[in-house]
Amino acid sequence: MSPSPAGSMAEHAYHELRARIIDLRLPPGTALDEDRLRGELGVGRTPMREAVKRLEAERMVQVYPRRGTIVSEVSLLDLRAISDARRVMEAFAARTAADRLGEADRARIVDLLDRVSAAADVPTAQALAFDREVHQVIWAVMRNSYLEDTLSHYFDVALRLWNYVLDRIPSMTANVSEHADLLRAILDADAEAAGRLAEQHVTHFETVVRTSL
């Protein structure tokens, strides 16, 4: 059964608002002007309300009686909790990918490895896109759609933290370049090394953001 128009509009509103929160078009602490946003997104009150409820469940926004909806602030406690979760899951994904690597997967990993050096010197937006692509390929090779969905969510909330400090980070080069050893470990079917390097990658992210907040 196809989704109802209201359901489709709620989905549209949710994804658009979420994207604006992650890339800081709606910065932390912003009070949502729902009347203006409904006009921009072309949705009614019910789809907007449903979208806000989903974002509240994801801790992207906080809803206060009589005050309205506020984009959640960025905090060191959030950084620690998100990083703790990602360390466990990204390490598991990398270990599993190393164990389950097939020939078609190998070609995708080799392609990424060939592109690491070039990606380290591109503009920030392209470097971030490449970083996401590396993670997405590893998740796909892992072959666990449930965990893949969860990892994607945590990547997005981590990306909001990254975007928050991006203008205080001199370069993305180190963050991109460290993928090379991780990809080689997966190609070598070295699950232990892959897990360790994935965990270190998340820790590096946490350290950079922590020192920049």
Q: What is the pLDDT of residues 31-86, one digit of tens each?
A: 999 999 999 999 999 999 999 999 999 999 999 988 899 999 999 999 999 999 99
Q: Which domain holds residue 206?
A: 76-212
pLDDT at 16: 98
pLDDT at 147: 98
Identity of the amino acid at 110: V
Do residues 112 and 192 both lie within one domain?
Answer: yes
Do residues 144 and 203 both lie within one domain?
Answer: yes
pLDDT tens for each residue of 136-186 = 999 999 999 999 999 999 999 999 999 999 999 877 888 888 999 999 999
Residue with tokens 């232990």: 192
- For 191, residues 6+ apart whose C-beta sits below 8 A from its C-beta are 94, 95, 96, 98, 99
pLDDT at 2: 41
d(CA 13, CA 50): 9
Average pLDDT over residues 132-136: 96
Domain count, the chain: 2
Token duo for residue 133: 């692509």
Whether 204 has a pLDDT exceeding 70, the answer reads yes
Do residues 91 and 62 both lie within one domain?
Answer: no
Taking a C-beta distance cutoff of 8 angstroms, is the pair 141, 95 a contact? no
